[in-house]
Each structure stands twice: as C-alpha cells, then as structure tokens.
Amino acid sequence: VDKDALDTQVKDRKIQEAAEKARNEELANEMKQNDKILCMLEERHKNDIRNINKAISEFQKNFQKPETRREFDLSDPEALKKDRPARLSDNDPRCTVSGLQKFMGEDLNYDQRMKFQKEQLREWSLQQQRHWKNALADQKFADDLYDKNRIELDQKTMERQRKEEENRRAVCAATKDFNRTQAAELAERKKLEKYQKMKDDMDEISSLLQGNLLSENPEQAVSSFGRHRVITDRWKGMNQDQLMAIRYSQQQQVLEKLRLKEEERRTDAEWDRQSIQAARAQLVLERHQQRQNRERRRALDNVNAELSQEQKSKNIYLKEEAYSNFPTGQYYAQFNTTSR
C-alpha cells in the first residue's frame, strides 16, 4: 500500500472539504443578507401603507369634518345651545330643507353662495390633485430607492462572485503547486528506491555467484541426517534414474486416464442410445394416441350429424303435419260445460 499517496489523497480531500464548507458558509451568509434586505423592504412597504392611511385619516380629520356635512344639524350635540328663533335671514344656517323655510333658489344671496361653493369645490379638487401628486412622487421615490437597492445588491453579488472566483483560482493554483511538489518528491523517492533496489539486487547476484548455490556441487545438498535426505535450498535436482522412474509413472498415469475416458465415452454413448430409443417409443405412443383421438372425434362428429338430422326431420314433421290443423270454436266450446 502506498501510504504517502493515501495521505496525499486525504490532504486533498480535506482541502476540498474546507473549500466546500467555506463556499457553503458564504452562500448561507448571502441568503441571510438577502432575507434581511427583503424583510427591510417589506417593513418599508408596510410603513408606506401606514403613512398613506395616516395621511388619509388626517385629511378626513382636517378637511372632512362632521361639521361640514349637511346633515350635521340632526346629530349636533350642541343643538340646544345653538337653538335660536326661527328664520332670521337667508344666511341663517338653520334654514334646512326639512324646515321648509327656505327653498332652492329663493334665497337672497344665491350668487354669493354659488360662487363660494364653486370656490370650495375648486379648492377641494386642487387639494386632491396635490395629494395625488404627492402620492405619485412618494411612490416614484420608493420605486427609485428600490431600484437603487436592487442595483447595489446586484453589484455586491457580482463582487462576491468575483471574489469567490478569485479564491477558487487561488485554491486551484495552490493545489496544483502542492500536487507538483508531491509529484516531484514521489519521483525522487522512487528514484532512490530504484537505486537501492538495484544495489541490493547486484549484491544478491554477487553473493549467489560466489556461493555454493550456483556452483553445481551435489555434495552441498546432502543432509547431515543421512544420504537419503537432502537440503531443499541447496538441492540441484534428481539424477537420470530418478527422472526415468518419474516419467514411467507419468506415462502409466496417462494410459490409465485414457482408459477411464474411453470407458466414460462408451457409457455416455450407451446412455444416449437408450435415451434415443425411449424418445422414439414415446413419439410412436403419442402418434398412436393422436390417431385414436382423431378416430374418436370423427365417430363423435358422425353421431352428432345423425342426431342433428333426426332433430331437423322431427321439427319438419311437427311443423308441417302435427301442428298443421288450427283449433276451431267447437274445440273451445267444450270447456266449462258442467257444474263441476
């Protein structure tokens, strides 16, 4: 097992995990920032709606007071304090329609009243136009602010992406340099190992050439426990008599194996012959049964044809002879003729 390569892979994996963790944390912070901005925008929208409603309430409170309504005199809490005698003049505010003291067009200051009403309507219209323009200006300011925030947010996002790309490039460059250094160290280490292995092999070859292992001396394999025993790491092989005995034994084993294969072949041939004979007998039996079934079917078809012919003849006889006479009135008159 290459432990250094495994350690290198573990370090690379840790570096990748650290980079992935940093990227995930940065994405999480970005999502938190976006959520915070969204919450701020929602809060600002709610505040705008609240301010508009407050402005409407202030306008109603200042310019649409209950005292300006025509029917306020019906629910005025100070009506008794303001109560005065009947109509004093045409400008008397108590001369309402329900009092039947002054009708439309019969007052003395009709021109001044109409002029005042027109002026009042014009002022109300101008006030509504100003409020509408202010509302449009506020909405435009809010839209411009929202667009500005969006542009700033996009710029921040692009800057963050650029920084992330730079960090990724720096990590890749560092990883590449680290891998190049590791590769150089690994090549140097392999070179040293190869040189050491070559040196060891040369020492081993020199030792073998100078030792008794390759000297072809059969006496060095004789064991101290007897001539019939050998030392396995020094034994150079058997002599010609021993080799001839082994070859003769191998030839006998080959002949025995050929004889067993021949017996097995004859046994398989006998089994195949018996299987073929059994299959032929089964085929003959099936053909005989099929022939008998066809004969039975033919006999049954003949019987059914005869029965069908007899049934047709019987139906013709019943239709043309037995049921050819229709009953008359005398036949039906013989029923219910007794008291029983």
pLDDT of residue 42: 93
The pLDDT of residue 86 is above 70: no
User: Residue 215: pLDDT band by 50, 70, 90 thresholds?
Assistant: low
The pLDDT of residue 79 is above 80: no
Beta strands in the chain (DSSP E): 222-223, 226-230
List b or e across 110-124, with b for residues whose CB sees 16 or more CB atoms inside 10 angstroms. Answer: eeeeeeeeeeeeeee
pLDDT of residue 293: 92
Among the ranges given (129-133, 259-263, 285-289, 317-321), the one the predictor scored with the smallest mean pLDDT: 317-321
pLDDT digits (tens, 9 = 90+) for 185-206: 999 999 999 999 998 888 888 8
pLDDT of residue 243: 84
The pLDDT of residue 274 is above 80: yes
How far, in Å, CA of 58 to CA of 193, rounded? 93
Q: C-alpha 328: how far from its chain's center?
A: 89
The mean per-residue pLDDT over the stretch 70-74 comes to 78
The pLDDT of residue 325 is above 80: no
pLDDT of residue 301: 92
pLDDT of residue 223: 72
The mean per-residue pLDDT over the stretch 322-331 comes to 72
pLDDT of residue 121: 92
The pLDDT of residue 15 is above 70: yes
The pLDDT of residue 213 is above 80: no
pLDDT of residue 335: 77
| This prediction's pTM | 0.24
List b or e across 222-253, with b for residues whose CB sees 16 or more CB atoms inside 10 angstroms. Answer: eeeeeeeebeeebeeeeeeeeeeeeeeeeeee
pLDDT digits (tens, 9 = 90+) for 129-185: 999 999 999 999 999 999 898 899 888 989 998 998 998 888 998 889 888 888 999
How far, in Å, CA of 272 to CA of 278, rounded? 10
Q: CA torsion, points 175, 178, 179, 180, in degrees to nearest 10?
A: 120
pLDDT of residue 331: 73
The pLDDT of residue 340 is above 60: no
pLDDT of residue 216: 64
Average pLDDT, the chain: 84
The pLDDT of residue 299 is above 70: yes
Extents of the domains making up the chain: 118-213, 241-289
